[in-house]
Amino acid sequence: MIEFIDLSQEKPYQVFKDSYEHALENKQSAIDAISISSYNPELSEVESRFVNLKYIVNDEWIFFSNYASAKSKSFKMHPQISAVIYWKKTNTQIRIKAKIFKTAEKFSNKHFESRSTEKNALAISSNQSQIIESFENIKTKYLETLNNKDLLQTRPSYWGGYSFRPYSFEFWTGDKFRLNKRSLYIKNKDNWDYYLLEP
């Protein structure tokens, strides 16, 4: 589930909320999964991965991750990203272009405190994206962290939120005769330009 807090009244945010509610009513599973693509200029590579979108606060889309992971290195060097969601139940695709940045520490702390001990033990014990010797080592490290009450008290500095602010949205709705509807919103200063695209 995505939590909406003080959602922006701007048009594409409201279209997104309506579309989300429609997918929710249709019992879409993994409704909060969103694919984030980043570019690493050192490697000249684009890479994608799913994350769970946790919040949309006004116009900030927020997920949580490890700040030393592969994606985080790419975000630092190249903060422009693209994101995509597909909801099968309603045959809807939403494509986003955005700039990404670290979420305010206060917000990350609050979210960390709201999570289960098990999830936080993993956030603390994992050096996400590093090559490992064996899965057994990971399990041992995880269980040691889970039993360390002191360590579990505070959010580690290497884990927290990422926020992105979209500057482009494309809503695609599939049609059984392939007359798919594509609506594009592009941020233009304080307004959103609106276009319809050929399917």
Task: Kindly state the smallest distance separating residue 113's Cβ from ligand FMN, in Å.
Answer: 17
* 3, 54 contact by CB (below 8 A): yes
Task: Kindly state the smallest distance separating residue 188's Cβ from ligand FMN, in Å.
Answer: 31
Query: Which residues of this protein are in contact with ligand FMN, per CB under 6 A?
Result: 30, 33, 47, 49-52, 63-65, 69-71, 128-129
* 10, 188 contact by CB (below 8 A): no
**Helix intervals (H) in the chain:** 11-25, 70-77, 105-114, 117-125, 135-146
CB of 68 or CB of 186, closer to ligand FMN: 68
Task: Kindly state the smallest distance separating residue 46's Cβ from ligand FMN, in Å.
Answer: 11
Burial 99-110 (b: 16+ CB within 10 A, else e): ebeebeeebbee
Distances in Å between the alpha carbon of 172 and those of 15, 20, 64, 74?
A: 12, 13, 26, 28
Q: Which two tokens stand for residue 8?
A: 């922006």
Task: Kindly state the smallest distance separating residue 185's Cβ from ligand FMN, in Å.
Answer: 25
CB of 15 or CB of 51, closer to ligand FMN: 51
CB of 77 or CB of 197, closer to ligand FMN: 77
CB of 102 or CB of 182, closer to ligand FMN: 102
Task: Kindly state the smallest distance separating residue 39's Cβ from ligand FMN, in Å.
Answer: 12
CB of 159 or CB of 192, closer to ligand FMN: 159
Half-sphere exposure of residue 170, counting CA atoms within 13 Å on the CB side? 17
**Helices and strands (H, E) in the chain, number of each type:** 5, 10
Helices 117-125 & 135-146 angle (0-180, nearest 10):
130
Pairing of strands 3-5, 55-57: parallel
CB of 14 or CB of 130, closer to ligand FMN: 130
Q: Which two tokens stand for residue 163?
A: 């926020």
Task: Kindly state the smallest distance separating residue 133's Cβ from ligand FMN, in Å.
Answer: 18
